[in-house]
Amino acid sequence: MPAAAAKVMPMTEQKPSKQAVEAVVAGLNARFGNRVVTSLAVREQHANTTTWLANQPPDVVVFPHSTEEVQDIVKLCAEHGVPVIPFGTGTSLEGHVNAPLGGVSVDFRDMNKVLEVHAQDLDCVVQPGVTRKQLNDYLRDQGLFFPIDPGADASIGGMTATRASGTNAVRYGTMKDNVISVKAVLANGEVITTARRAKKSSAGYDLTRLFIGSEGTLGVITEITLKLHGIPEAISSAVCPFESIQGACDATIMTIQSGIPVARIELLDVVQVRASNAYSKLTLKETPHLFLEFHGTEASVAEQAERFAEIAAECGGGPSEWTTKPEERTKLWQARHDSYWSMLQLRPGAKGFATDVCVPISRLAECVLETCKDIEEYKLVAPIVGHVGDGNFHVGVMIDMNDPAEVKNAKTFIERLAKRAIAMDGTCTGEHGVGQGKIKYLEAEHGRTALNAMTAIKQALDPQNLMNPGKILPSSLTAE
C-alpha cells in the first residue's frame, strides 16, 4: 500500500456508561422538561414498528421544537459520548431507528411545519416531521404537489434520510432528485446548509446528495428544501390485467424503452391482487396486473394511453379499465399504498418481512420470474408488488415468528433475492435503505474499497460514531 492509503480504523461501537446516559437524561430533563420520555413503552415504540428485526429501544426520547434545540441535544450527547437516533414516523423497514447502543431518540413529531412555499420557484422549505400527505394537503390549493410517495405516510425527514421513492419515481425521480438542500446538525453540534435554492449549482462537493440516504449517520436533518411540481392538467389512471407476470414485465419494459412518460407503472402479482381485493375491497380479476397513471395535458394523456394499450395487447394484457375521476383514482392508489397492510391479512398473526431490490430494467422479467420460482420452492406466502418502471420490486414474506425454521427460510430467501439483484448489476435495496438489515450485502454490491471510502467519510464527519451507530456501515452490532 502506498503512503497515501486512507486510514480506515474500525469505529467505536461501545455502549456509553450508565453514568453518561444518566447525565444526558438529566441534561435533557433540565432543558426540555415534559418533552423528555423514558418509559419503556414509548422507547420501544421508537425502536421498531414495521420491521422483523429485534426491538432495540433507545434510553430516552426527546421532542425538539427547533434546529437550535437539536443542536443542544447533539452537543449534550457529544459531551457524554451518547448516540443520537433521529426519528420521523417509524415506518422504515430495515431497523433504521433501532438503538443497538442505546442513546437518545430525537422525535420530530413537533417539528412539522411547512416553513416556506415559493410557488414561483416550484419549491418549499419544510421541517423534517412534515409527512408527505400533510405536505400535499397544504400545497393543493396552490396547484402544486410533491410526488414522492412511499407506501407509508412517512415524514419528509425520514424520506430524505433513506433516499425514499415510491410509485411516481419513474417519472419524477426519487428524493435524490427532489431535495434541493438540507439543513443538518453535525456531530459537533454545528449546523450546515448544504445548498442554496438555485435549480443547479457546480459550487463544490454535493453535500446535499451525501446527506440524502445517509440515514442519520452523518448528522441530524432539521430542515429540507424540496422541489415541487404543478398538479397536471389531466390525470388518467388504469388497471390492466395480464395473462402472466412475464407479460406484465415485458409491457413495462417496452413502455419505458419507447419513452412513454408514464407517471406510475406498478406490478401486482396474483397473490397481491387477492390481498388487495380483500383488504381494499377491489374487484380485480385474479391475474397479474399493472396499475398505471399518466400525467399531462388532455391530448398527451390520451396519446400515452393509446400507445400503452398497443403495447399491453402485444404482451397478452388488457383491456385496461381507465378512470379520470379523482375518487376512483384515490381508491386505486390507496389500495396500492396499503399493500403492506393487505399482505398482513393474508396470514393473520404473521410478521411481514418486507424487502426490496432494483435491477436494470432489461433484467426485470428474469429477476421477478426467478424470485417467483424461489417463493414456490421455499413455500412462502409472499406477494410481489413493484415500481417496475424503475426495475424496482418488493416482496413481502409473511412469517410466523415463533417458527425458527420458517424465519430461517425467509432469511435465506431474502439473501438469495439480494444477491440475485446484485448479480444482475442491480442493488440490494432500491428504496428501503440499508439500516441494519442490509449491511451484510453492501460489500458484495459496492466492494471493500468503496465501503472503506464511505467509512472514511463517516469518520471524518462523526469521529465518535454517535450519529445513528450501527447503520449502513460494516458493524459488529446487529438486531437479528
Give the footprint of a second copy on residues 373-402 (CB under 8 A): 390-392
Q: For a second copy, how many residues bind (rule: CB under 8 A)?
A: 109
Residues 294-313 that bind a second copy (CB under 8 A): 296-297, 299-300, 303
Going by C-alpha positions, the residue among 228, 225, 180 that lies closest to residue 200 is 180
Q: Which of residues 50, 162, 320, 468 is near a second copy by CB under 8 A?
A: 162
When asked if residue 454 is in the footprint of a second copy (CB under 8 A), the reply is: yes
Least spacing, CB of residue 259 vs a second copy, in Å: 4
Going by C-alpha positions, the residue among 337, 336, 348, 438 that lies closest to residue 398 is 348
Question: Phi and psi for 30 in degrees, rounded to 5?
Answer: -65, -35
AA identity, residue 263: A
Q: Which of residues 157, 421, 437, 468 is near a second copy by CB under 8 A?
A: 421
Q: Which of residues 23, 305, 369, 457 is near a second copy by CB under 8 A?
A: 457
When asked if residue 191 is in the footprint of a second copy (CB under 8 A), the reply is: yes
CA atoms within 13 A on the CB side of 402: 2
Q: Which of residues 426, 437, 469, 470 is near a second copy by CB under 8 A?
A: 426
CA-CA-CA-CA torsion sign (210, 215, 221, 223): positive
Select the span of 44-52, 321-329, 359-367, 378-386 touching a second copy (CB under 8 A): 359-367
70 to 89: interface string for a second copy, x by CB under 8 A = -----x--xx-x--------
Least spacing, CB of residue 461 vs a second copy, in Å: 6
Q: Which residues contact 457 (CB under 8 A, 6 or more apart)?
A: 210, 218
When asked if residue 446 is in the footprint of a second copy (CB under 8 A), the reply is: yes
When asked if residue 210 is in the footprint of a second copy (CB under 8 A), the reply is: yes
Cα–Cα distance for residue pair 242/336, rounded to 1 Å: 17
Cα–Cα distance for residue pair 447/323, rounded to 1 Å: 47
Nearer to a second copy, 256 or 270 (CB): 256
Select the span of 323-331, 333-341, 372-380, 447-455 touching a second copy (CB under 8 A): 447-455
Q: Which of residues 127, 374, 445, 468 is near a second copy by CB under 8 A?
A: 445
Q: Which of residues 99, 156, 169, 375 is near a second copy by CB under 8 A?
A: 169
Q: What SS3 class is residue 435?
A: coil
Nearer to a second copy, 358 or 380 (CB): 358
Nearer to a second copy, 102 or 426 (CB): 426
In angstroms, how far is the first alpha carbon of the chain from the final one? 36
Q: Which of residues 22, 140, 153, 197 is near a second copy by CB under 8 A?
A: 197
8 to 47: interface string for a second copy, x by CB under 8 A = ----------------------------------------
Nearer to a second copy, 113 or 307 (CB): 307
* Long-range residue pairs from 128-133, CB within 8 A, at least 24 positions apart, any chain: 128/86, 128/88, 128/155, 128/156, 128/157, 128/158, 128/160, 128/221, 128/222, 128/223, 128/224, 129/88, 129/155, 129/156, 129/157, 130/155, 130/156, 130/157, 131/89, 131/155, 131/156, 132/156, 132/159
AA identity, residue 97: V
Task: Specify whether the backbone of 103 is left (phi greater than 0), alpha (psi in -120 to 50) or beta.
Answer: left
Please name the residue that has the C-alpha cell 433540565. 30
When asked if residue 232 is in the footprint of a second copy (CB under 8 A), the reply is: yes
